[in-house]
Amino acid sequence: MTSSNNRNTKQRMLLLECFNESKGKHMTVDELYAIAKSKYAEIGIATVYRNVKYLLEQNLIKKVDLPNSLPYYEISVSNEEHSHHHLICRECHKIVDFEDDLLESVENIIEKAKNFKITDHRVVFYGICSNCKPKKESKK
């Protein structure tokens, strides 16, 4: 193969930069497009879609699938798998991360019961976040 199969175009570098700058945040394609466009107005939406796909394949970003919403994307934590969960507030729709996994023993039970080798999981918890909880008011 003579020429490289992954060229570092300025659009691609820019998009990766956008992900890097928003560490720990999720973005939809449209949000990413808006941020990228503010830095380089010529960029096209198709390029954003294509590079999101490319960065996913390179494992540089991760897809976050949440029910009833467009997919989010976030920068990968290069370390290791680092499986974390998402808590979605039903009031303000904010997404809170929870860093620990905690599902090992649950997975063991399921694996034995169903003879199903679990390799991965996606978990979303719904509820009310700390901000939206009624504060402990004094009575009346």
25 binds, among DNA, a copy of itself, none (CB under 5 to 8 A by kind): none
Would you call 73 helix, strand, or coil by DSSP? strand
110 binds, among a copy of itself, DNA, none (CB under 5 to 8 A by kind): a copy of itself
Pair 20, 12: CB distance under 8 Å: no
Cβ proximity to DNA: between 49 and 125 the closer is 49
Q: Which residues of 85-109 are buried (b: 16+ CB within 10 A; e: fewer)?
A: bbbbbeeeeebeeeeeeeeeeebee
* Long-range Cβ contacts of 6-11 (<8 Å, 24+ apart): 6/54, 6/58, 10/40, 11/36, 11/40, 11/43, 11/47, 11/51
Dihedral sign, Cα of residue 55, residue 56, residue 60, residue 61: positive
Q: Does 6 bind DNA (CB under 7 A)?
A: yes
Cβ proximity to DNA: between 59 and 115 the closer is 59
Site for DNA in 23-52 (CB under 7 A): 28-30, 40, 42-47, 49-51
| Positions in the binding site for a copy of itself (CB under 8 A) | 63, 65, 67-68, 85, 87, 89-90, 96, 98, 100, 102-103, 106-107, 109-111, 113-130, 133
Question: Minimum Å distance from CB 1 to DNA?
Answer: 7
Q: Which residues bind DNA (CB under 7 A)?
A: 2-12, 28-30, 40, 42-47, 49-51, 53-54, 70-71
